[in-house]
Every structure is written in structure tokens, then in C-alpha cells.
Amino acid sequence: MLLIRCPYCEEERPELEFRNAGEAHIARSANIAGESDDDFEKFFFIRANPKGIIYERWRHIHGCARFFNAVRDTVTDKFVMTYKAGEPKPAKLPGAAK
Amino acid sequence: MAKAAAKTKAAAPSVERRPALAGRTLSAPGVKVEMLPPAERISLRAPGASLAVLSKALGVTLPAKPKSSATRDGRTALWLGPDEWLVIDEAGNDPLADCAKVTALHSAVGISHRNVGISVSGPAAAATVNSGCPQDLSLDAFPVGAASRTILGKSEIVLLRTAQDTFRVECWRSFSDYVFTLLSEAAGDAAN
């Protein structure tokens, strides 16, 4: 079983307590009604789906119930790090080559 | 530490209450699983600025540390999230009425009859709970007084370690049959 560090509980917890909640850092337009159909489609449906590092929202639903962000590698399925919701993308990832 | 507040007695029920699975117990070698008597409970949500006033009104200091709890005079406050607590009163006082006197921003919801408590005690208690709960229940990781919302099999529970070999499992009453049965089956295996 994967252990995922919850930044609010400040410890690693079993994956069964968590739910994935899609890609992180997708900003909703302040003027959503004024968006063109193409822009709205990009915001609403189009996701990066990269091979490698992905920034995701996760929820500790069977724990503290908080949403937080996680950096995960889609190739190895390893969690690189997690950080609280609302915080910016980490500038440098731990263990990154560059 | 909050001073002991003048607690409000819980009102006598206006209807006949039939607690789920009342009185059910199961004894296996090394572990005993039993339904706990009814208790008063609230789900409390509050920002950090209200905690001091609420702690005073409840007579128990609301813990700020993750996975912790505080007990005073039969009333236990369990940390569930950064702004969420479960308060259980086993002394017949009403924490909801105590919170109602507080004007500081908070949300207190009475859930006395939504939850039931199950006690799992004995040397094999941790093994019994671990049959369905994936958390590390060693005394280092989950010491006496530790509390956490987690899962047990397919059901969400709140787990509180009340003594070295005693756990209190809180679950929704409609899940209680599943939870009790799962713990009973696990109790039979845990001794082996």
C-alpha cells in the first residue's frame, strides 16, 4: 500500500484514506460567463496528462477531509512531495536532477 | 488548560431511544468487543480565533495537534481536521448547550444519535482493529489518547485509543452492524 504524506495531518497515511481530485493549479476565470467556447473547453475539459511529473489535487477524505496538492510521477507512481492547498507550485522538487 | 466550566445537563429524551445494537458484546481469547452506552456528541467546526472561548465553555481544551485528543471530566475532544473536532460527553452533560452560549464564530452540530461507540479491548485489540484499518497502531505511532478519522473495511470510523489495549471505535449507526460484525470476525482471528 502507498503511504501518502498529508500536509495537514503532518504524517504519512495509507492510500485508502485518500481520493484523487484531478489536476491541480487550474485557475477558474474571474469572468467565466465572458469566456469564449474554446477557452471554456480548455479550462473545463483539457488536461495536461503528462508522462512523468504531474501536479494533482488529492483529498484526505477519510482523515482530516482537507484538499491538498501532490506532485506525483505517473511513470513510477511515486509521490514526490505534497503541499497545502493554495500554496504555489514548488520551485524545486526534492531529489530532482536539475 | 481550560477551567472546568459549569456544564449543562443533557435534556431527557422526549421520545423512546433505541440505540443500535445496544448491549451487544463479543468475547474472544485476548479481545473483547462491546457496544458502548449512548453518549452526547457534537461535531464542532471553528476557526483558530474561537478556540480559547470554546475550550472554556466546553471545559476541555480543544487539541490543536493532529491525531490527538483531550479528556476532562468525562468529556473528550478529538482532533479530526485543522478546524474540526468531535466532542464526546459520557457524563450526561450536553456539549451542544455549552457551545450555544458562545458568541464567537463556530458551528456545533449535535450528532449524539448519528454515531455509536464500540469498545475494543484486550491484548489483541490493536490486531483486531488493524484487520480493517490500515493505520499503524503501534504505541509509537498511535499512543494512548491518539485519535483519528480513518477507515475500517468499507466504513469510515473515528478511532480513539483510550488505553494501551483499549480502542473506542465511533461509527455511523447505520454502519454499526457492519462494523461490529467485522470487528467480531477479526476478534476471532486476532487471537491466533
Domain ranges of chain B: 25-190
Q: Give backbone dihedrals phi and psi of B127, rounded to 5 degrees, phi first.
A: -65, -35
Residue B118 to residue B129: CA distance in whole angstroms? 11
Cell of A3: 503511504
Residue B149 has its nearest CB partner, among A1, A10, A62, at: A62
Q: What's the pLDDT score for residue B17?
A: 82
Q: What percent of chain B has pLDDT over 90?
A: 85
* Cross-chain Cβ contact B84/A64 below 8 Å: yes
How close is the nearest chain A Cα to the Cα of B150, in Å? 5
Residue B118 to residue B23: CA distance in whole angstroms? 10
* A92 C-beta neighbours (distance < 10 Å), count: 7
In the predicted structure, residue B1 carries a pLDDT above the cut 50: no
* B22 C-beta neighbours (distance < 10 Å), count: 12
Of A16, A18, A60, A61, which to mutate for an interface test with B (greatest number of B Cβ within 10 Å)? Answer: A16
| CATH match of B25-190 with 3.20.20.150 | no
Please report the ipTM that was assigned to this predicted complex. 0.87
Q: Please enumerate residues of A whose Cβ is less than 8 A from a Cβ of B.
A: 1, 8-11, 13-14, 16-17, 62-66
- Please tell me the class of the A3-84 domain: alpha beta
* Cross-chain Cβ contact B84/A65 below 8 Å: yes
Cell of B18: 433505541
How close is the nearest chain A Cα to the Cα of B5, in Å? 28
In the predicted structure, residue A98 carries a pLDDT above the cut 80: no
pLDDT tens-place string over residues A67-93: 999 999 999 999 999 999 999 999 888
For residue B13, name the pLDDT band (cuts at 50, 70, 90): confident
Residue B169 to residue A2: CA distance in whole angstroms? 24
